[in-house]
Structure 1
């Protein structure tokens, strides 16, 4: 009598019936959420220690702007190969390498004694953090159906906002009790612990789990596009396209331009808000630690609301791309309307309210932008397109601290910074709203 074959340990046979979607996927989302918090604390530590480090190393505003951008340029450029690497090697390996390397860079930063070495470690931090969000995007693409991805992607992206909200009071407290060097050490050790836990927990879904997860991927689409199961079937039957082929499509370029405009203003907040509150609003370092968290708390809500809005419209039968664009375009316009009046207001409370509304609105697109990449790209190029879009965003992010520093040295005021940010937010809204219209189809001619 033949003995029925059994799948290897940890695997599920294609014939094994499954009645509920695996709970592990939400555990992975929570772990990625924690990873996003640690990831952004690594980015925020220099902004919180901005004034202290500038005094210790005797830096001008322009020099500090260059140091604040030292993370961003390598991060933006490294996003391009990082997306391809995640598509090639998968989220488990790439996230492990990334979290380990960025933690080492942070630990080394705690012991440097020169501007040039600190600058070099910030560059290494940028390169090593580049695979994080593409790994999260790829993980969600594997573990969640299309109509479910908005919420988990937005949850993960709230990690950055949670970090930004707790960074001013938490990192300021660490800095006041342990010095800025001790603050760097604590964050670096947290990243190494994260890497160990990730390697213990993460795995890709089995065949049966994939079948169950993606049975709901049968959304109504217009006649000019192909639904996700059809696109995945095309992908599996077509040779893998080159990474550079994505640049042949206009959609890719409008995603780059749109994210550039939105991310510029976000990173003015992330790199210069504590300094703005100290220098222009007259708060002490201790007061700044708490007040700077207010806009970032609003940002946490903004990320979640953006994901909820886009998923709501999808459930109502609206095309996925249009559903994603609602919070992206609406958020960018509202953010521009909020930050533009700040230079003309001489009221501290109202300025902080407008800053908070502006940051809330600028975060409405955050998680949705990543989900949009999964809706636009062919199945095997999701991380690649997400990384290219993120590259465009972080070109804007890299310019934000430098241009802000130059404007401060020239004018002594943040007024022109806010006006420039409002203009770029509108550019982002126009790019996504008017020019991004349809998915990239492998069999179609570049459009």
Structure 2
């Protein structure tokens, strides 16, 4: 009578394995949608401004509404995820931001547009708090870095797909339809997610039975240290994502077509860093290195590579400049994925999303503040100084992260 029981257990293990990879595929698709919906307005900005009579100052204010809502939302998104679980919370977050994106297609003035983008900003962080929760539930430490890297890579894929996709939709159906169609795509994802996702047996009752204890979280210096590390390191990514193409056109004489045809190299490097960084720390764990130490080793390697971007300040040829920019993108995603895996490794499952949200808020506030600083420097043409400054940030962030987690929690 034992043989059938063993077979059943084996089959159950195979079934769980298949489910977790399906869940990872859906998390990847969610981050693709996240970035497509986020970028739709920036791609169609000229058409939207013209139709609604919004000047550049008004448009900048609308972008700020999104950024402020995005940063503040992280403070609550993690807590909501821990209370409701990964399945329900991500369904709510994605449904919320999909509706907000669709609503953008129906706005009639600047105020309505600003409100719609603020609602989008409130919903979008949820994928980055529910993602770690799902990974903590379904993946062992040896695979967590890879899993986080895979769904993080979806953001780069979304950033690559968005320009041609949104442009085609707008040309075929108008800019309003582009918002409605991309938002509606989220509800197709939502139906599949609700059918596929399964929490591990016994996990849901344990989560709901124990309230989140804020005191230990807020007193834990590693929470604030890792948040500070992201606040310092992530502005490098925001700079290369939003300002590097402008630098190539304004300072290096490249045409818009040349930049557009080569920008995918930076995104490709980021994807390789996202997935490769997770594989690297996972391999270290399999070789006997403790999970937390493996993440710090991978982050140290990234922090050693990222300062090479300072060489761009000396204005090498276009080929070396693109190679160095791609190297920085690669290094940053290695750093980001492993700091995320470090959080999942370090904190209990019932509060991991809450902690992740607090730490990710550091990234959002860092991006918000750095956008102003970089804008001021770039307006004077001081790009060389920006590259030198950016080269210092990853080593500083790694040192802070190491100091904050070097003692046992």
Shift, 1:279, TM fit: 3.5
Classify 1:45/1:385 alpha carbon distance in 2 versus 1 (closer, same or farther; 3 Å): same
Separation in 2 of the partners of 1:414 and 1:113? 38
Aligned to 2:300: 329
Aligned to 2:198: 203
1:25, 1:143 within 8 Å by CA — same for their partners in 2?
yes
Separation in 1 of the partners of 2:256 and 2:169? 13
Query: Do structure 1's residue 379 and structure 2's residue 374 form an aligned pair?
Result: no
Query: Do structure 1's residue 148 and structure 2's residue 118 form an aligned pair?
Result: no
Classify 1:244/1:192 alpha carbon distance in 2 versus 1 (closer, same or farther; 3 Å): farther
2:308, 2:324 within 8 Å by CA — same for their partners in 1?
no
Q: Which has the higher helix share?
A: 2
Classify 1:333/1:399 alpha carbon distance in 2 versus 1 (closer, same or farther; 3 Å): farther
TM-score when normalising by structure 2: 0.86
Query: Do structure 1's residue 57 and structure 2's residue 54 form an aligned pair?
Result: yes
Aligned to 1:265: 236
Q: Secondary structure at the match of 1:70?
A: helix
Shift, 1:273, TM fit: 4.0
Aligned to 1:30: 25
1:65, 1:402 within 8 Å by CA — same for their partners in 2?
no
Q: Deviations over 1:30-54 (max 9, x none)?
A: 0111111111122233444467667
2:222, 2:401 within 8 Å by CA — same for their partners in 1?
no
Aligned to 2:153: 158
Which residue of the other structure, out of 126, 131, 137, is the alignment partner of 1:131?
A: 126
Classify 1:184/1:137 alpha carbon distance in 2 versus 1 (closer, same or farther; 3 Å): same
Shift, 1:363, TM fit: 0.8
1:166, 1:293 within 8 Å by CA — same for their partners in 2?
no
Moved more, 21-30 or 145-154: 145-154
Which residue of the other structure, out of 80, 86, 105, is the alignment partner of 1:91?
A: 86
Alignment of 1:214-233 (within 5 A): none
Aligned to 1:370: 340
Which residue of the other structure, out of 317, 322, 332, is the alignment partner of 1:352?
A: 322
Separation in 2 of the partners of 1:127 and 1:429? 29
1:257, 1:431 within 8 Å by CA — same for their partners in 2?
yes
Separation in 1 of the partners of 2:383 and 2:360? 26
Shift, 1:76, TM fit: 2.0
TM-score when normalising by structure 1: 0.79
1:168, 1:289 within 8 Å by CA — same for their partners in 2?
no
Shift, 1:351, TM fit: 2.0
Aligned residues: CA RMSD: 2.9
Query: Do structure 1's residue 431 and structure 2's residue 400 form an aligned pair?
Result: yes
1:46, 1:68 within 8 Å by CA — same for their partners in 2?
no
Shift, 1:87, TM fit: 0.8
Q: Deviations over 1:274-310 (max 9, x none)?
A: 4444444444544443322220111000101110111
Separation in 1 of the partners of 2:237 and 2:21? 28
Q: Secondary structure at the match of 2:56?
A: coil
Q: What are structure 2's unaligned runs of at least 5 residues?
A: none
2:77, 2:129 within 8 Å by CA — same for their partners in 1?
yes
Which residue of the other structure, out of 105, 112, 115, is the alignment partner of 1:110?
A: 105
